[in-house]
A and B are shown apart, each in its own frame.
Chain A
Amino acid sequence: MNSVYLSHNNIISAYGFDSAAAVSSIKNEVSGLSLVDDSKILPNPFYSSLIPQGSLSEAFEKLNPKEAYTRLEQILLVSLADTIKKSGIELSDRVGLIVSTTKGNIDVLEDDSPFNEERAYLNELGKKIENFFGFKNEAIVLSNACVSGVLALAVAKRFIHQKRYDHVFVVAGDLVSKFILTGFNSFQALSETPCRPYCKTRAGINIGEVGCSVLVTADNTNLVDESVRIIGEASCNDANHISGPSRTGEGLYRSIVSAMNQAEIEADAIDYISAHGTATNYNDEMEAIAFNRANLQHTPLNSLKGYFGHTLGASGLLETIIGMYSLHSNTLFASLGFQELGVSKPLHIIKKTTAKESSIFLKTASGFGGCNTAAIFQKVNS
Chain B
Amino acid sequence: MELIYYRLLSEGSIYLIAVFSFLIAGLFYLSSIGKRRFKVPANLFFLLAFLMVSIYILKAWFVTGQPPFKTMFQSLVFLVWNISLIYFVLEKTENLYFLGGFVSLFNLFILIFSMVFTDIVKINLPPALQSVWFIPHVVLYFAGYSFLFIGFLMSGLYLLFPERRYLGEAHWSGQLWKDYDIFSYRAIVYGFMFLTLGLSIGAIWAKGAWGSFWSWDPKENWALITWFVYLTYLHMRYVRNWKGKRAAILSIIGFAVVVMTYIGVNYLPSAQSALHAYQ
A and B form one complex: no
